[in-house]
Amino acid sequence: MGEPSMSEEKKITLSVIKADIGSLAGHHIAHPDTLAAASEVLAEAKKKGVIIDFYVTHVGDDIQLIMTHRKGVDSPEIHGLAWEAFKKAADVAKELGLYAAGQDLLSEAFSGNVRGLGPGVAEMEFVERPSEPVIIFMADKTEPGAFNLPLYRIFADPFNTAGLVIDPRMHSGFTFEIYDVMEGKAVKLNAPEELYDILALIGTPSRYVIKRVFRREDNLIAAVVSTERLNLIAGKYVGKDDPVMIVRAQHGLPAVGEVLEPFSFPHLVAGWMRGSHHGPLMPVPQRYAKCTRFDGPPRVIALGFQIKNGRLVGPADLFDDPAFDETRRLAQQIADYMRRHGPFMPHRLGPEEMEYTTLPQVLEKLKNRFYKAEEYKVKIRHSEMLTGEVHD
Ligand code: F6R
Ligand code: MG
Ligand code: MG
């Protein structure tokens, strides 16, 4: 009694916490000195035994802290550590005059959890398997819903994941936990029975975001995404919410190749320039994890690790492969095609999404310039439909 059970003892937490604390050449790339400042904080914590292991990296202007520990998800100690690392990195960013220094640290004070303070968080606690391959996806210039399509294909589409048909441990399917990020609600739906319901929601990636995926057979956690939407948290435009995702692979879960496969299609995601445009999600190796053309196009990297007793072995830079060259080429063509629309939809996001940018400030100025169009009568005005109030 009182002793932790064998499985409790072996439980490990993998935390990926990210923030944009300022970058070099506009919103382009994290400066190496900021990465070093964050690494120093984590190295000290590792020495003290607060965390078991860590890896600090970046995609574009976002810094990612990848940490293993035994303190569970939402640990104030781990979140506090991440906050301290970002603060130290932001201090360096300010010193160097980097662009938008401190951008994602919305509050001056840390209050026990980084959720709601700006950084994005993907964490999972699990019992380490004898061999534990995980893939950490990190994207820049896009939003958490960008992972909806790939996650659906990985865990619900047998045309992507052969294991759903062939491997008996996957045959009963997966549960998708989906957040309504606009209303702060969540729902769990099961694949394959509820595929159409799942799609009815996640086809609106700006609002319904897959948070976690579980294997139904034993409720084993298979994937988790950072779902923080900065604009909704801050109540004003503060950039897009460049997301991270952890996916466990192999041995009764989708194989690494099945997890990577959906990214061979550079699907359109929201983000890119000013967080206001649709563009193709381009899978790139770490060395190309920086956004240039029109502040993009949106990019994603995939780092593969093995976790052994909490130790992060790796990474393998998984998109550093000519097998994704054609995807990148197609993404360039899509980028050209979309760019030719200039400020027109569907390149520019629709009005609901633009509400969270700086466009409303521009529209506000035009408000008083409108007059009644005498020859154009509407039965019910849009504003009346929204408010239910009829006016003249
Ligand atoms: C998108 C992004 C950039 C900026 C753009 C304008 O997530 O970070 O595309 O929105 O460079 O930046 P500001 O307004 O800082 O000049
Ligand atoms: Mg930035
Ligand atoms: Mg970014």
d(CA 309, CA 6) in angstroms, rounded, equals 13
Annotated catalytic residue, options 20, 53, 242, 295: 20
* Residue 2: predicted pLDDT: 43
pLDDT of residue 56: 98
Please give the model's pTM, rounded to 2 decimal places: 0.94
Tell me the pLDDT of the chain (392 aa) as tens digits: 344 455 555 899 999 999 999 999 999 999 999 999 999 999 999 999 999 999 999 999 999 999 999 999 999 999 999 999 999 999 999 999 999 998 888 777 777 777 767 899 999 999 999 999 999 999 999 999 999 999 999 999 999 999 999 999 999 999 999 999 988 899 999 999 999 999 999 999 999 999 999 999 999 999 999 987 766 666 666 656 899 999 999 999 999 999 999 999 999 999 999 999 999 999 999 999 999 999 999 999 999 999 999 999 999 999 999 999 999 999 999 999 999 999 999 999 999 888 878 888 899 999 999 999 989 888 888 777 777 776 65
Among residues 89, 106, 87, the alpha carbon closest in space to that of 24 is found at 89
Based on the residue annotation, tell me whether 290 is a catalytic residue of this protein: no
| Ligand 1 atom at minimum distance from 140 CA | 7
Give residues whose Cβ lies within 5 Å of ion ligand 2. Answer: 20, 27, 61, 100
Active site residue 240: yes
For the CA of 22, the nearest ligand: 2
At 389 the pLDDT is 72
Indicate the length of the chain as a whole number. Answer: 392
Residue 141 Cβ < 6 Å to ligand 1: yes
Fill in the DSSP letter of residue 141: S
- Would you call 20 a catalytic residue per the annotation? yes
Cα separation, 350 vs 353, in Å, equals: 6
Q: How far is the CA of 4 from the centre of ligand 2 (A)?
A: 43
CA of 322: how far to CAs of 94, 124, 327, in Å? 38, 31, 9
Q: Measure 347 CA to ligand 1 centroid, in angstroms.
A: 16
The pLDDT score that the predictor gives to residue 390 is 65
Supply the pLDDT for residue 240.
Answer: 60
- What gap in Å lies between CA 226 and CA 368, rounded to an integer? 41
Catalytic option among 55, 152, 179, 237: 237
End-to-end CA distance of the chain: 74
**Hey, what amino acid is at 69?**
H
Q: DSSP strand E in 88-165: where?
A: 120-127, 132-140
45-49 LR contacts (CB < 8 Å, sep 24+): 45/81
Residue 103 amino acid letter = Q
Q: Which residue's C-alpha comes closest to atom 16 of ligand 1?
A: 26
Burial 348-377 (b: 16+ CB within 10 A, else e): bbeeebbebbebeeeeeeeeeeeeeeeeee
CB of 275 shorter than 6 A to ligand 1: yes
**Could you tell me which residues come within 8 angstroms of residue 349 by beta carbon, excluding any fewer than 6 positions away?**
270, 276, 277, 278, 357
